[in-house]
Amino acid sequence: MKLSRRDLLRLSNAAAGWSLLTSTTREAPAPPSPLNLFDFESAARERLSAMVYAFIAGGAGDELTVRWNREALDRLRLCPRNLESVADPDMRVHLPGLDAPHPILLAPIGFHRLMHADGELATVRGANAAQATMVVSMGTTTPIDALVRAATQPLWSQIYLLYGRSFIKDVVLRVQSAGVKAVVVTIDTPSNGPRNRQDRAGFAVPPNLPLPLMTPSSYQGAADAMFVAKASWKDLEWVRSIVRVPLWVKGILNPLDAQRAVDAGAAGIIVSNHGGRNLDTNPATIDALPRVADIVAGRVPILMDGGIRRGTDVLKAIALGASAVLIGRPYVYGLAAAGSEGVTHVVEILKRELAMAMMLAGRSTLRAVDRAALWS
């Protein structure tokens, strides 16, 4: 992705034009435009029920890991270089299952129809306009074929090891024949964490919500409700043997698990603590990343998510060994606030901030962003 000066100006004008989307009358003063990713949370909160907002925003237990994801990124300082000829920052990435003009993907998040009537279709259209790859959650409320048809960017599909091998095989074959370019197996959720905030708000998945990839009743074989907790590395190796597109493993924090995922044949690793929704007091992902990068030692690429809100956060993740990042809550806030345009704006703002950060830090390519970009 190359951003010209004209592109940068156009994007800042686009961000300023946001108020056109959100103002309701000519007379009323326009609400403040979302200028950064944090601003989308309040815009979304105004439109969402308290229950759905708590479902998105909340984490597990005392939400310490949610907080640490942000605090650990904030604590890192950058080490800029000047006069490095940075007029044209090159943000392109080449990964198994993805050639992209920038390193920002949309993390798998379930139940988009709770956030917007058009659900995942609105998300994928928003991602198209921002040239972003969406990782479709197994909790999609829209059939995967419809999403692949609507996508102009490579689409990835996330699965959990739910209900037993034959159920999973069924899902893998369906998403592959739909045309997804990679499969992501999330391995960090043998159970949910105690999600006190969403429970207090009374959140429950509506029984009539369509879940085309997650419904054991629509499948002919025997479904084992506890399989997700019984699953082992042998099951991951088995998934690897049936998947014909690159397989990414999501939810790695411990370097030992990173090593096992590489041994199991993963094409790439996603360092993630599930946005702090599972095991509270797990470390911030940016703190786990360097240890994972050290053990992986370049054998497979690494992605990271958790708390990415600023272009400087993307730069920091790349400096510590990630090839690209995923964002979670911010884009569903964008979806809730303004449908597909909201999703596009979230990604465009982050892209623009990353381009600025690269220029100001004196790094004209992502390859040039290494640990020396951080103040040690």
Ligand X SMILES: Cc1cc2nc3c(=O)[nH]c(=O)nc-3n(C[C@H](O)[C@H](O)[C@H](O)COP(=O)(O)O)c2cc1C
Among 164, 246, 301, 307, binds ligand X (CB under 6 A): 307
Pick from 209, 218, 195: nearest CA to 59: 195
Q: Which residues contact 338 (CB under 8 A, 6 or more apart)?
A: 18, 21, 22, 43, 345
Contact status: 89 vs ligand X (CB under 6 A):
no
Which candidate in 112, 116, 274, 345 is catalytic?
274
Q: Does residue number 311 form part of the binding site for ligand X (CB under 6 A)?
A: no
Instruction: For ligand X, give the closer residue by CB, 90 or 120.
Output: 120
Q: State yes or no: residue 97 binds ligand X (CB under 6 A).
A: no
Sole binder of ligand X in the list 61, 126, 154, 306 (CB under 6 A): 306
Q: Interacting stretch for ligand X, rule CB under 6 A, among 94-102, 271-279, 352-360, 366-374?
A: 271-279
* SS3 state at 120: helix
Q: Give least dist CB 8 to ligand X, A.
A: 24
Q: Does 139 bind ligand X (CB under 6 A)?
A: yes
Task: Give the binding range for ligand X (CB under 6 A) out of 34-42, 268-276, 316-324, 338-346.
Answer: 268-276
Which part of the chain contacts ligand X (CB under 6 A), choosing from 118-126, 164-172, 301-309, 340-348? 301-309
Q: Select from 328, 334, 339, 342 the one that contacts ligand X (CB under 6 A).
A: 328
Closest CA to 84 of 372, 364, 375, 370: 364
Amino acid at site 57: A
Question: Which residue shows structure tokens 């998947």?
Answer: 243
Using CB atoms, what's the residue nearest to ligand X?
Answer: 328
Could you tell me how many residues of this chain bind ligand X (CB under 6 A)? 24
How far, in Å, CA of 354 to CA of 309, rounded? 11
Q: Which of 97, 108, 193, 301 binds ligand X (CB under 6 A)?
A: 108
When the beta carbons of 65 and 368 are compared against ligand X, the nearer one is 65
Q: Which stretch binds ligand X (CB under 6 A): 107-115, 255-263, 287-295, 356-364?
A: 107-115
Is residue 308 near ligand X by the rule CB under 6 A? yes
DSSP H or E run through 162? none
Q: Say if residues 369 and 86 touch (Cβ distance below 8 Å).
A: no
Among 274, 316, 345, 351, binds ligand X (CB under 6 A): 274
Spell out a b/e string for 326-359, using b for 16 or more CB atoms within 10 Å of the CB, else e: bbbbbbbbbbbbbbbbbbbbbbbbbbbbbbbbbb
Report the alpha-carbon distance of residue 363 to residue 359 in Å, rounded: 6
Amino acid at 103: P
Q: Which one of the spans 133-141, 259-267, 311-319, 335-343 is the region binding ligand X (CB under 6 A)?
A: 133-141
How far apart CA 270 and CA 115 sit, in angstroms, is: 25
Read off the tokens for 303: 């992605």
Cα gap 277→139, rounded to integer Å: 16
How many Cα atoms occupy the beta-carbon half-sphere of 67 within 13 Å? Answer: 6
CA distance 98 to 134: 11
Task: Give residue 20's identity as a one-letter amino acid code.
Answer: L
Q: Which of 243, 247, 319, 327 binds ligand X (CB under 6 A)?
A: 327
Binding segment for ligand X among 1-9, 204-212, 324-332, 343-351 (CB under 6 A)? 324-332
Q: Which residues pair with 156 in a beta bridge?
A: 135, 182
Contacts of ligand X in 189-248 (CB under 6 A):
none
Torsion of CA 59, 62, 64, 66, to 10 degrees: 10
CB atoms within 10 A of CB 373: 22
Q: Which of 39, 257, 305, 313 binds ligand X (CB under 6 A)?
A: 305
Nearer of residues 8 and 146 to ligand X, judged by Cβ: 146
Chosen residue from 107, 122, 214, 261 binding ligand X by CB under 6 A: 107
- When the beta carbons of 100 and 325 are compared against ligand X, the nearer one is 325
Position among 56, 134, 347, 373 found at the interface with ligand X (CB under 6 A): 56
Q: Got the DSSP string for 237-263? A: HHHHHH--S-EEEEEE-SHHHHHHHHH
Q: Which is nearer to ligand X, 141 or 158 (CB)?
A: 158
Query: Which sign, positive or negative, has the C-alpha torsion 87, 93, 94, 100?
Result: negative
Whether residue 102 lies in the annotated active site: no
Hey, which residues are catalytic here? 274
State the residues that interact with ligand X by CB under 6 A: 55-56, 69, 107-110, 137-139, 158, 186, 250, 272, 274-275, 277, 305-308, 327-329
